[in-house]
Amino acid sequence: VLIGSLLIYRSVKNWSSELNQMSEEIRTLDDGNRNQLSIPEQPIEMKEVAMAFNELLHNKEASIEREKQFITDASHDLKTPIAAIRGHVQLIQRRGESHPEIIPKSLSFIDSESQRLEKLSRQLLELNKGRDELKLEEISLSQLVREEVEKSHSIHLREFDTKIENDVTLVGIRSELQQVVQNLIENAIKYSKAETKTTVILETRDNNIYLEIADEGIGISDTDKPHIFERFYRADTSRTSKVEGSGVGLSIVKKNVEYYGGSIKVEDNHPQGSKFIVLLPR
Ligand code: ADP
pLDDT in tens, 16-36: 888 888 888 888 877 666 778
**In the prediction, which pLDDT does 143 show?**
97
Q: How far apart are CA 59 and CA 261, in angstroms?
A: 22
Q: Are 221 and 235 in contact (CB under 8 A)?
A: yes
Q: Are 172 and 211 in contact (CB under 8 A)?
A: no
Q: Which of 20-24, 27-31, 122-126, 181-185 has the lowest mean pLDDT?
A: 27-31
Distance 110 CA to ligand 1 centre (A): 24
Dihedral, CA of residue 267, residue 268, residue 269 and residue 275, to nearest 10: 30
The best mutation among 238, 254, 266 to test binding of ligand 1, ranked by most ligand atoms within 8 Å of the C-beta, falls on 238
At 44-53, the pLDDT tens digits run 888 899 899 9
**In the prediction, which pLDDT does 265 show?**
97
pTM assigned to the model:
0.75
Distances 234 to 68, 73, 74 between C-alpha atoms, Å? 19, 12, 14
Q: Whose CA is nearest to atom 9 of ligand 1?
A: 247
Please give the average per-residue pLDDT across 247-263, as a whole number.
92
The set of residues, in sequence order, having a beta carbon less than 8 Å from that of 127 and lying 6+ positions away, is 231, 248, 251, 252, 255
Q: Are 188 and 212 in contact (CB under 8 A)?
A: no
Q: Find the helix packing angle between 249-259 and 174-190, rounded to 10°.
A: 140
* Residue 195 clears pLDDT 70, i.e. is over it: yes
The set of residues, in sequence order, having a beta carbon less than 8 Å from that of 113 and lying 6+ positions away, is 81, 84, 85
The set of residues, in sequence order, having a beta carbon less than 8 Å from that of 262 and lying 6+ positions away, is 208, 278, 279, 280, 281
* Residue 151 clears pLDDT 80, i.e. is over it: yes
Pocket-forming residues, ligand 1, beta carbon under 6 Å = 183, 187-188, 191, 215, 217-218, 220, 228, 233-235, 238, 245-251, 274
Q: How far apart are CA 119 and CA 178, in angstroms?
A: 16
The best mutation among 70, 119, 187, 265 to test binding of ligand 1, ranked by most ligand atoms within 8 Å of the C-beta, falls on 187
